[in-house]
């Protein structure tokens, strides 16, 4: 059976958003020139924030104290899971040493970056979990200085639960600022921050563009686009569960793709009908975002076999991939392109987004074909070293000199031959 599209996404407009690029370019240049004053001016203009940029220890403690006990316990639960998973990842990062030839010892070391800037989105939603995912992972990796930032609310600053999550995770410095101005502040090391070696965390198109423009002078976690999710389901899946899993991800934003790949036509038709009903039960602005995402970005695909379904999924390389089908071990072994995989009807992307442990900062827009998500590895440099004795040096020198001259690199040959003197 050929793959059949029961519902296709509306083609995206073919154009480059030069407006975003131009705005971000001007902002970064302005802040490079004006420094902290430029950040303050943009914070006032764009977010209506005129308070202190640096969150004082006193204000940090006050914000943490205002968080309800039950919410603190939920944040602590998520933090513990994220920390445990990051620690398990770190345990896989070994150092090594080998005698390549007699007398030549070479090795590998794992060195964390010195400083990290963690961006926590604000705006429509308060992304408490993003503070946990970014700061905790950097802390476990061994980063010495972590700056955390997030957009402010007029008069109140960063929402208290986000501050609490940043504090619990180990942020050394918290800045009351979001947007491009926050990215620039961390990159330049303004307001007492140590200039960031790497910038991480999701954000809107302006934040993503600022990170893209700064990449090279600083490291970044990834080039991020709108979040996306794909569900693979067979005839054992439940319409209600699949529909909610798709709707919950469409809630992220009007430009967030959600895809269903199924081997069961009745399930496909049932989910299409039920998803639209469920969207209408959401509060605003979630309802409008999900409604547009479903209308314009959702796709429902009928596959003739599980192998065809796997092929479609690997081609899409989704950020989030759920499997609600029989023989989960087969799917775990077969699927090869995804940011994070969620197996079984008892497991949902919402767990991964908030509390279960594996990081939710993941590759979007098909980037899962060649990279994974945020982890302790992103904050760590894998470096090599070598040392040789006189006997090894002699053999290396002879062979290096000959190979260098073959390449036309006389200076390399002379440097090697110095070891023969």
Domain spans in the chain, listed from the N-terminal domain onward: 18-220, 226-369, 389-420
Structure tokens at 117: 């800037």
Chain centroid to CA 367: 11
pLDDT value for 125: 75
d(CA 13, CA 245): 27
Exposed / middle / buried, residue 98 (Cβ in 10 Å: 0-12, 13-18, 19+): exposed
Phi/psi of residue 117, each to 5°?
-110, 125
State the CB neighbour count (10 A cutoff) for residue 404: 18
Confidence band, pLDDT 50/70/90 cuts, at residue 26:
very high
Handedness of CA 11, 323, 240, 126 (dihedral sign): negative
- Could you give the percent of the chain with pLDDT greater than 90? 95
Are residues 232 and 202 in contact, defined by beta-carbon separation less than 8 angstroms? no
Read off the pLDDT of each residue in 162-179 and give the average, rounded to a whole number.
98
Read off the pLDDT of each residue in 43-63 and give the average, rounded to a whole number.
97
pLDDT value for 10: 92
d(CA 373, CA 337): 12
Read off the pLDDT of each residue in 41-64 and give the average, rounded to a whole number.
97
Nearest in space to 9 (alpha carbons), one of 254, 262, 366: 254
- Could you give the percent of the chain with pLDDT greater than 70? 99
Read off the pLDDT of each residue in 389-414 and give the average, rounded to a whole number.
97
CATH superfamily of 226-369: Nitrogenase molybdenum iron protein domain (3.40.50.1980)
Residue indicated by tokens 């072994």: 333
pLDDT value for 417: 97
Nearest in space to 337 (alpha carbons), one of 360, 355, 361, 364: 364
SS3 category, 142 = coil
Residue indicated by tokens 């699927």: 335
Asked if the model's pLDDT at residue 67 lies above 90, the reply is yes
d(CA 315, CA 300): 15
- As a residue count, the chain comes to 421
Kindly report the CATH class assigned to 18-220. alpha beta
Fold identical between 18-220 and 226-369? yes
Active site residues: 319-320
pLDDT value for 184: 98
Asked if the model's pLDDT at residue 13 lies above 80, the reply is no
Whether the bond between 373 and the residue before it is cis, its omega within 30 degrees of 0, is no
Are residues 11 and 302 in contact, defined by beta-carbon separation less than 8 angstroms? no
**For residue 196, what is the DSSP state?**
P
């Amino acid at each position: 059976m050929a793959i059949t599209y029961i519902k296709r996404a509306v083609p995206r407009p073919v154009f480059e958003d030069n407006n975003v690029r131009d705005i971000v370019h001007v902002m970064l240049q302005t802040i490079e020139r004006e420094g902290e004053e430029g950040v303050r001016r943009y914070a006032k203009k764009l977010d209506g924030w005129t308070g202190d940029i640096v969150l004082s220890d006193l204000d940090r403690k006050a914000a943490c104290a205002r968080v309800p006990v039950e919410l603190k316990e939920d944040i602590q639960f998520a933090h513990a899971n994220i920390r445990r998973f990051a620690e398990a990842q770190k345990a896989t990062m070994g150092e090594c040493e080998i005698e390549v030839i007699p007398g030549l010892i070479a090795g590998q070391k794992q060195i964390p970056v010195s400083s990290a800037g963690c961006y926590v989105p604000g705006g429509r939603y308060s992304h408490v979990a993003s503070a946990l995912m970014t700061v905790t992972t950097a802390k476990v990796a061994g980063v010495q200085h972590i700056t955390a930032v997030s957009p402010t609310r007029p008069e109140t600053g960063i929402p208290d639960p986000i501050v609490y999550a940043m504090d619990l995770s180990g942020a050394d410095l918290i800045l009351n600022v979001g947007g491009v101005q926050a990215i620039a502040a961390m990159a330049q090391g303004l307001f007492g921050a140590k200039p960031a070696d790497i910038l991480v965390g999701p954000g809107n198109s302006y934040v993503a563009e600022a990170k893209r423009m700064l990449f090279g002078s600083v490291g970044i976690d990834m080039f991020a686009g709108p979040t996306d999710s794909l569900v693979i389901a067979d005839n054992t899946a439940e319409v209600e569960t699949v529909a909610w899993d798709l709707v919950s991800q469409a809630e992220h934003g009007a430009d967030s793709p959600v895809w269903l790949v199924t081997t069961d036509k009745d399930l496909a038709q049932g989910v299409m009908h039920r998803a639209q009903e469920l969207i209408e039960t959401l509060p605003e602005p979630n309802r409008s975002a999900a409604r547009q995402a479903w209308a314009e970005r959702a796709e429902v695909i009928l596959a003739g076999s599980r192998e065809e379904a796997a092929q479609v999924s690997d081609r899409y390389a989704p950020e989030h991939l759920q499997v609600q089908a029989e023989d989960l071990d087969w799917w775990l072994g077969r699927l090869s392109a995804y940011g994070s995989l969620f197996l079984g009807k008892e497991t949902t992307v919402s767990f991964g987004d908030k509390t279960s442990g594996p990081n939710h900062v993941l590759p979007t827009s098909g980037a899962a074909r060649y990279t994974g998500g945020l982890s302790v590895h992103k904050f760590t440099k894998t470096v090599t070293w070598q040392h040789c004795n006189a006997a090894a040096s002699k053999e290396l020198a002879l062979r290096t000199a000959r190979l260098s001259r073959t390449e036309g690199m006389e200076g390399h040959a002379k440097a090697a031959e110095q070891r023969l003197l």
